[in-house]
Structure formats: structure tokens, C-alpha cells
Amino acid sequence: MDKREFANLSRREFLRRAACAAIGTTALTSAISDLRLMNAAVAQSNIGPNDYKALVCIFMIGGNDSNNLIVPTANAEYNNYASIRTPVLALPQSSLVPITSANNDGHTFGFHPACKELAALFNSGQLALLFNVGTLVQPVNRTQYLMGQFTPPQLFSHADQINQWQTSIPDQLSPTGWGGRCADLLAAVQPATPISPLVTMVGANSFEIGNTVSQYSVSSSGAVALNFMSGARLQALTNLLGLPSPNLQMQAYGNTANHAIDTTALLNNAIIPTASASYWTNPFPASITPPGGGSIASALSPQLKMVARLIEAGHRSAAAGGFGMQRQIFFVAVGGYDLHTGQTLGPGYTTLGTHANLLADLSQSMNAFQNAINQLQLAPNVTTFTASDFGRTFPSNGQGSDHGWGSHHLILGGAVKGQNTYGTFPTLAVNGPDDTGVGRWIPTTATDQYFATLATWFGIDSDNLTTVFPNLGRFSPSNLGFI
């Protein structure tokens, strides 16, 4: 580049080129180590002052058996499903909740009998299905897999696969998650937000680790406060923390602690208008009714209710007592999906076992959440999506199913091109073209493609997608078109 070319470069373009050069010559961790510089380059022009969007990740900890979340219903395909999953895992054909897909490619499907609400959301155009997605280093087929080529490290390990799903970088350790990297790049859009745009309902997670933006932990009751202090005692502590100190470390600690106390009060005051149960047209269920009867406490609904309240407060203007934010990312999670045993109760059951309880909670809670978002008139602005460690084996181990790889996932919201399926449904055959050898589906869609599609809708422009997803160029298409 000569001096005239350099002079004609805008500051934004110069920084973009510098960042791209960094990615090409150093490790990812070096390339994104100073996103404060990048922020100056990526004050994304396509985001206006009244442009609010939120992403909500629902993580199913343990590895959801998506082979029973969505099941083929045509006789030949169902009979093949039943012959392999019988006697422990096969769901009765008559119990499946049918869906009508606008692009079924000759296939017909039904949801698990615990997922009537999800089926209704799909049939109403608010929900889409993504088939056989998983962590990939690059596209891989069965022959390459059997030769040990192109597979992510520690493929069937819970901890490793959770980390790889949440960072979307399976071939190297990443200090940040893809949600955190999105927040870093968009920090210039909302530089002085009263709370972090990264909110977690379950404590620390890899998905929301940013380089410059920190995740903020909230409980289903609100901001986590100093429960042992209030009134005069809390004020005294605040005064002590605010005293000047010659020790810079102590001064920084005091400033951070005071900020946390102030943020707690600010958040809890902002969500007061939505505290009453009567505020919600369709109440969030405190307990769930599985298809076999009975009642169980919901683990997911209280989390999603708080997310809805924080979305209302986040979208509401500062002048009206809200946060006046433009972007928020939420993380909720439910455990219990690692069902090596007790997944169903076998043939002739009157209840459907642990997996049915979990899916009933997922279905009824997601339905209540979408009703709340519709009530807030923010359906086009909020997108909810599922993730999990991995899928599970198609054959039973005799009592449940074991760790798999590719799995099916849900995308919900007013901007979603619902009542459609995306990706490729696997051939349900052990040692078939999509199988590793024991009924673990080799993903035909990468997490990079799944999440890059969401990130594009969220506001990450095409020039910066590879900063968030450095392996994205290995897969085509980069946008799956479901939103």
C-alpha cells in the first residue's frame, strides 16, 4: 500500500484491514485480545437507536435425545425408527403430535407427546426445526470419520462438548464464548449501559465470556443482593467502600463492589412493574403437567419469566425507568438430560419417564415465554434457540441412551421463518451413511452455521462474522436462512 492509498483509507476501513491481517497472522486469542480497538471499527451502521434485539439461549445440560424430540411419522420411516428403538425408547406412533411442515421434502414428522405446545408453535409459524447440527472442525463424512479425520477433540465428553458448543471453536481452546464475542463487537452501540448486555440465569458459562464485556448473574427472583445486609448496615458498607484508599487494588475492589450494589438496586427497581402474576396475560407455569399425568415443579419457567421481565425492562427507555438497551443476550439452562437410565419406562407405560418430564417443561415453558414476548409486542425482536452437549445414540443401551453427536434443535420467535425444517434429517440406520458406527449421527450442519445465522440477525455484519466464528469459511452456506 503506497502513501496515497493509505491517505484515502477511512479510519474504519483501516482498522478493519488491520484486524483481518491480525486474524490471518496470529492465533485467535491474539486477534481478539483488544476488542476495544475493534469497537471503534465496528459501530455497526445497521443498528439504529430504536433497534432492540435479544437472543435467548436455552441449554439442555447432559445431551438431549433429539431422536425422540422429533420422530418421522410415515409408516416405513416410523417402523424403521421403532425397530431400532424398541423396546425401551420407541414412542408409540399414535402418541406423536403431528406437525405440518411447509418444506418437508416428502417426510412427515411428529413431536414427542410431551411437546404439544412446541407443535402448536411450529404449526403457527413461530418455531423452526434445525436437523442434525453439531460441533465440526470442517465438513466430514462417515469414511473420513472412520479414518480418524477432521473430528473435534474429546468428541463425546460432556465438559468438552459444552465448551465447544458455547465457544463454537472446537479445534482450539478459546478464552471467550461466541455470545461474549458478539457483545464485544457491539459494545460501541451501547457504550454506557446500566447493566451488562450478557445476562445469565445459572451463573458462569462459557457462552457469555467476552473480552471486554462481562456476564451478569441474575436469579429467578432478581439481582443477587447482599441478603445479610440492608438499610443502615448496607449504607454503612457502601460508605466504607467509597472511602479513598492509597492502595489501588483496594480502591478498585471498593469501586467494583459499590457498582455491584448500585446495579442490584437499579435492576430490581426496573423489574418491579412486571412483578405481579396478573401482569402476564398467560401466566408462567410454576408446575408442569407431563403427558402421563401428575405435576412437577418447573426448572425452566422461572428462569424464562425473569428473562421476559428483563427484556421488558431492557427495552423500556431510561426515561420510563428502564435500561434503554439495544442488545441483550440471555443464557438459561436445565440439567438432567444425561439419561443413560430412566429415560422412558418401557412398553406398556402409563407415564413416559424422565425425558418426558424434561420435554414437558421445555415445551410448556417456551410456550409461556413466547406468549409473554408476544404480549410485550416484541416478537420480531426476540429469538430463542436451544443448544445441548450433543445428541444421543439411536439404539438403546437397555435402560436409556448414551452420548451421541449430531442433534436437532429449535429456533423460536417472530422473526423466525417458522413451520419449516432446515438442515438434513439423518438416515436412521445403524452403520448407515450418517452414523459413526453405533447410532451416533455425524452432523451435516455445523454449530458455526447455526450460530452465525443468529449472529447475523443480531447485528454482526458480514465483515465481522469471522471474528466471532473463525472457522465459518470452512462451511457453506454460512447463513441457513431460518431467520
- Per-residue pLDDT tens over the stretch 414-436: 999 999 999 999 999 999 999 99
Predicted local confidence at residue 59, as pLDDT = 98
Would you place residue 26 in the very low, low, confident or very high pLDDT band (cuts 50, 70, 90)? very low
Q: Using the predicted structure, report yes or no on whether residue 81 has a pLDDT greater than 80.
A: yes
Q: Please report how the helices 248-270 and 301-315 are oriented relative to each other, as an axis angle in degrees rounded to 10.
A: 100
Give the cell for residue 52: 432492540
Q: Cα dist. 405→94, 162, 392 in Å?
A: 28, 12, 7
**pLDDT at 44 exceeding the cut of 70:** no
Are residues 390 and 441 in contact, defined by beta-carbon separation less than 8 angstroms? no
**Is residue 28 within 8 Å of residue 172, measured between CB atoms?**
yes
245 has a pLDDT exceeding 50: yes
How confident is the model at residue 96, as a pLDDT?
Answer: 95
What confidence tens digit (pLDDT) does each residue in 207-230 have?
A: 999 999 999 999 998 886 645 455
Q: Quickly list H helices, 271-343.
A: 301-315
Q: Where are the domains of the chain?
A: 8-41, 53-474
Provide, rounded to the nearest whole percent, the portion of the chain with pLDDT above 70.
81
Residue 4: per-residue pLDDT: 42
pLDDT digits over 146-199, tens only?
999 999 999 999 999 999 999 999 998 999 999 999 999 998 888 878 899 999
Helix (H, G, I), strand (E, B) or coil at 127: strand
pLDDT of residue 418: 95
Residue with the bigger pLDDT between 342 and 468: it is: 468
Q: pLDDT averaged over the chain?
A: 85
pLDDT band at residue 473 under the 50/70/90 scheme: very high
Among 475, 432, 433, 435, CA closest to 453: 475
Q: Which pLDDT does position 105 carry in this prediction? A: 73
How does DSSP assign 423-450, residue by residue? S-PPP--TTSTTBSSSSPBPPSEEHHHH
Confidence bin at 293 (pLDDT 50/70/90)? confident
Q: Is 398 left (phi over 0), alpha (psi -120 to 50) or beta?
A: left
Between 8-17, 158-167, 443-452, the lowest mean confidence (pLDDT) is in 8-17
Judge contact between 412 and 121, C-beta under 8 A. Answer: yes
pLDDT at position 263 = 76
pLDDT bracket for residue 294 (50, 70, 90): confident
Per-residue model confidence (pLDDT) at position 443: 98
pLDDT at residue number 295: 86
C-alpha cell at 38: 475493534
pLDDT band at 292 (very low <50, low <70, confident <90, very high): confident
Over residues 401-412, the mean pLDDT reads 97
Q: Give the count of beta carbons closer than 10 Å to the beta carbon of residue 237.
A: 15
Which of the residue ranges 221-230, 355-364, 383-392, 473-482 would you say has the lowest mean pLDDT? 221-230
Q: Are strands 198-200 and 215-219 parallel, antiparallel or unpaired?
A: parallel
Question: Are 300 and 26 a contacting pair, CB within 8 Å?
Answer: no
Neighbours of 125 (CB within 10 A): 14
Burial, 1: exposed, middle or buried (Cβ in 10 Å; 0-12, 13-18, 19+)? exposed
**Whether the predicted pLDDT of 246 surpasses 90:** no
pLDDT at 264: 83
What number of other Cβ atoms are within 10 A of residue 4's Cβ? 7
Question: So what's the pLDDT on residue 230?
Answer: 57
**Residue 434 is placed in which grid cell?**
450418517
